[in-house]
Amino acid sequence: MRIEEERQDVLQNIEFAVARLYRLNPAMTDYAVLRTYESLVQLYSAEVTGRPAKAVTVEGVEADLLRDAKRMCEWRLGRAPLAPTEDAAPECEPLDVPTLVLCLKRLVKSVNKWTKHGGRQGYLNFMTQFVK
C-alpha cells in the first residue's frame, strides 16, 4: 500500500496547516511550501540517522509555514499538543519518525507535480480544494 493511501490522515493534517496560512496569505507560492516540506524532510531524516540537522533560515510567511507545519508534525509524532491552549484536539496514535519522513517526501512530490501543471500556486490551488 502506498503512503498516501496508508497515511492519508497525516498528509491532510500537514496540508491543513499549509491551507490555513495560504488562505490568510493569498500571495504565498508553492516554492515556500516546497522549501518548508524539504526543510522538514531534512530535519526528521537527520533525527532518524542521529546526525545534527542543518540550520534553516526563513522569514515572513515561510517562517510561519515552517512553524505551523512542524507543530502539526510534532503533534502527529505525539510529542506536543497542537496548540498550547488546545485541550480539545482529537487524540491520534503517535506516528514514528520514518513514516513521517515518507509522508513529507510524498508531499514534496505532490508540490512538484502540481506546480508543473498549474504554475506558481498550482499545488496550493489544487490542495485547498480538498482541505477545508
Residue 86: per-residue pLDDT: 54
Distance CA 82, CA 52 (A): 25
> For residue 14, what are the domain limits?
3-127
Residue 15: per-residue pLDDT: 96
Q: What is the Cα 40 distance to its own chain's centre? A: 8
- Nearest Cα neighbor of 2 from 121, 122, 103, 124 is 103
Q: What is the Cα 24 distance to its own chain's centre? A: 17
In this structure, what C-alpha cell is assigned to residue 58? Answer: 526563513
Residue 85: per-residue pLDDT: 55
Is-above-0.85 flag for pTM? yes
Residue 33: per-residue pLDDT: 97
Angle at alpha carbon of residue 84, lines to 27 and 53, rounded to 5°: 65
Residue 88 maps to a domain: yes
- For the chain, what is the domain count? 1
In this structure, what C-alpha cell is assigned to residue 48? Answer: 532518524
Residue 132 maps to a domain: no
Angle at alpha carbon of residue 13, lines to 10 and 16, rounded to 5°: 150
pLDDT in single tens digits along all 132 residues of the chain: 788 888 899 999 999 999 999 999 999 999 999 999 999 999 999 999 999 888 888 999 999 999 999 999 999 999 988 765 555 566 778 899 999 999 999 999 999 999 999 999 999 999 999 987
Q: What is the dihedral of CA 113, 43, 69, 122, to 10 degrees?
A: -10
